[in-house]
């Protein structure tokens, strides 16, 4: 069969392909624990956590077009909120995650306020300040956070069930928790972006004056967007706390934010799969280069690989995959809605028959005949 295969949007084959894609992801997620060794699964959990944070950053920077160099701080706020609540107050971790997200939302909205007046480099500097201050704050309030020595003993024990027994069971448990958290984050972003608010977010990024004269409330959209992005990063932080068990301020340095930015750009900004793939790339790339060579050479190789990827995949991994996919499969958009809209017709009684007027083209009542030819 000649490639690419063309399917029409909304037809059975198209729906089948979309469903198949989801089924494939679900299958991989469920099969993974049975195929890989526990320590490998532990790594996947680490990559998932990075992916969640990248999903959060992508909402703000990819879709919203606002740069943040402070996302390590939101990740940290989430991690320490969860860490302190679980260790000192014995909270159930999921409840601590939610509170951590709320804390991050509030901090995010506050940081988003200067974003109303600043953009580009200036906004980058403000968020950079937030990112730089955070590790110092952790050290300053060491009675609460454990300071440089660290906060220990944070855990989210698996339910008492044979399936999650032992050390391998605990790894499996955290893997599933991370999968669910990533799914929730993605659904949240997807829900925002596919609707009215999503259009407003893209409009503000793309053409701010036009967005404002459409009636988009810039203040609300920008600050809430910042808050939600921070909350998702905070959720990732909470997971990080229970996954590693130890929090030290060094984990939340500027380097972490840079990793997130690289993950977002490499994966494909303003796409749904981009930050997830990017999260995995940025997690595994240093591991692989570290296995290949030792010492400084690993870092150099890592850097070179990133440069190569940025040059070869301008729209990120997702963009590259999309181009590849287009050679195999093309989805033809649905045809425009028919001009004759019978749902508009006045109710007709059985003996009356259909009035001719009920079948008139809609443009009779609209603004006139076709113009833009």
Partner 1 sequence: MSLLQIEDLHAGYGAADIVHGVDLTVDEGEVVVLLGANGAGKTTTMRAISGLIARHGSLRFDGTDISRAAPDEIVRLGLAQVPQGRGTIADLTVEENLRAGAHVRRDKQGIAEDITRWFDTYPRLAERRKQQAGLLSGGEQQMLAISRAMMSRPRLLLCDEPSLGLSPKLTQEMFASLSRINHEMRMAILLVEQNATLALGIADRGYLIEVGHVGASRSAADLAGDDAIRAAYLGY
What is the binding site for partner 1 (CB under 8 A)?
9, 196, 199-200, 202-203, 205-207, 209-217, 270, 333-334, 336-337, 339, 341, 344, 361-363, 365-373
Spatial contact of 170 and 157, defined as CB atoms under 8 Å apart: yes
Between 357 and 367, CB nearer to partner 1: 367
Between 83 and 267, CB nearer to partner 1: 267
- In the complex, the smallest distance separating the C-beta of residue 63 from partner 1, rounded to whole angstroms, is 10
- In the complex, the smallest distance separating the C-beta of residue 226 from partner 1, rounded to whole angstroms, is 19
Between 45 and 66, CB nearer to partner 1: 66
> How is residue 127 written in tokens?
């968020």
- In the complex, the smallest distance separating the C-beta of residue 274 from partner 1, rounded to whole angstroms, is 15
Between 31 and 210, CB nearer to partner 1: 210
Between 157 and 206, CB nearer to partner 1: 206
Between 9 and 355, CB nearer to partner 1: 9
Q: For residue 243, count other CB atoms closer than 10 A to its CB.
A: 22
- In the complex, the smallest distance separating the C-beta of residue 112 from partner 1, rounded to whole angstroms, is 18
Between 296 and 336, CB nearer to partner 1: 336
> How is residue 309 written in tokens?
């990827």
- In the complex, the smallest distance separating the C-beta of residue 369 from partner 1, rounded to whole angstroms, is 8
- In the complex, the smallest distance separating the C-beta of residue 194 from partner 1, rounded to whole angstroms, is 10
- In the complex, the smallest distance separating the C-beta of residue 339 from partner 1, rounded to whole angstroms, is 6
Between 336 and 356, CB nearer to partner 1: 336
Q: Three-state SS string across the chain, please?
A: CCCCEEEECCCHHHHHHHHHHHHHHHHHHHHHHHHCCHHHHHHHHHHHHHHHHHHHHHHHHHHCCCCCCCHHHHHHHHHHHHHHHHHHHCCCHHHHHHHHHHHHHHHHHHHHCHHHCCCHHHHHHHHHHHHHHHHHHHHHCHHHHCHHHCECCCCCCCCCCHHHCHHHHHHHHHHHHHHHHHHHHHHHHHHHHCCHHHHHHHHHHHCHHHHHHCCCCHHHHHHHHHHHHHHHHHHHHHHHHHHHCCECHHHHCHHHHHHHHHHHHHHCCCCCCHHHHHHHHHHHHHHHHHHHCCCHHHHHHHHHHHHHHHHHCCCHHHHHHHHHHHHHEEEECCCCCCCCCHHHCCCCCCCCCCCHHHHCCHHHCCCCCCCCC
- In the complex, the smallest distance separating the C-beta of residue 204 from partner 1, rounded to whole angstroms, is 9
- C-alpha R_g of the chain: 25
- In the complex, the smallest distance separating the C-beta of residue 114 from partner 1, rounded to whole angstroms, is 19
Between 324 and 372, CB nearer to partner 1: 372
Please give the Cα distance from 109 to 115 (Å, whole number). 10
Between 211 and 236, CB nearer to partner 1: 211
Please give the Cα distance from 178 to 185 (Å, whole number). 10
- In the complex, the smallest distance separating the C-beta of residue 356 from partner 1, rounded to whole angstroms, is 19
């Amino acid at each position: 069969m000649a490639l690419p295969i063309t399917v029409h949007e909304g037809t059975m084959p198209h729906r089948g392909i979309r469903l198949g894609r989801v089924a494939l992801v679900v299958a991989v997620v469920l099969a993974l624990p049975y195929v890989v060794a526990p320590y490998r699964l532990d790594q996947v959990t680490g990559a998932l956590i990075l992916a969640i944070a990248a999903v959060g950053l992508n909402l703000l920077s990819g879709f919203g077009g606002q740069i943040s160099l402070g996302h390590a701080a939101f990740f940290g706020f989430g991690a320490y909120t969860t860490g302190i609540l679980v260790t000192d107050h014995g909270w159930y971790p999921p409840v601590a995650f939610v509170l951590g997200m709320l804390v991050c939302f509030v901090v995010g909205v506050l940081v988003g306020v200067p974003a109303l007046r600043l953009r580009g480099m200036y906004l980058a500097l403000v968020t950079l300040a937030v990112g730089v201050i955070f590790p110092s704050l952790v050290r300053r309030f060491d009675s609460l956070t454990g300071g440089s020595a660290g906060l220990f003993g944070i855990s989210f024990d698996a339910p008492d069930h044979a399936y999650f027994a032992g050390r391998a069971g605990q790894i499996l448990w955290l893997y599933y928790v991370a999968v669910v958290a990533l799914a929730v984050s993605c659904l949240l972003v997807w829900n925002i972006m596919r609707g009215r608010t999503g259009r407003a977010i893209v409009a503000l990024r793309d053409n701010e004056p036009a967005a404002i004269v459409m009636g988009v409330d810039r203040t609300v959209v920008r600050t809430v967007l910042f808050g939600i992005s921070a909350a998702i990063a905070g959720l990732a932080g909470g997971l990080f706390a229970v996954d590693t068990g130890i929090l030290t301020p060094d984990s939340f340095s500027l380097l972490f934010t840079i990793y997130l930015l690289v993950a977002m750009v490499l994966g494909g900004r303003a796409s749904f799969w981009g930050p997830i793939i990017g999260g995995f790339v940025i997690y595994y790339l240093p591991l692989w280069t570290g296995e290949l060579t030792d010492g400084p050479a690993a870092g150099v190789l890592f850097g070179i690989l990133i440069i190569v990827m940025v040059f070869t995949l301008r729209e990120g991994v997702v963009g590259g995959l999309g181009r590849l996919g287009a050679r195999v499969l093309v989805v033809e958009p649905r045809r425009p809605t028919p001009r004759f809209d019978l749902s508009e017709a006045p109710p007709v009684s059985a003996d009356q028959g259909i009035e001719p007027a009920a079948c008139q083209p809609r443009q009779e009542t609209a603004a006139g005949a076709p113009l833009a030819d």
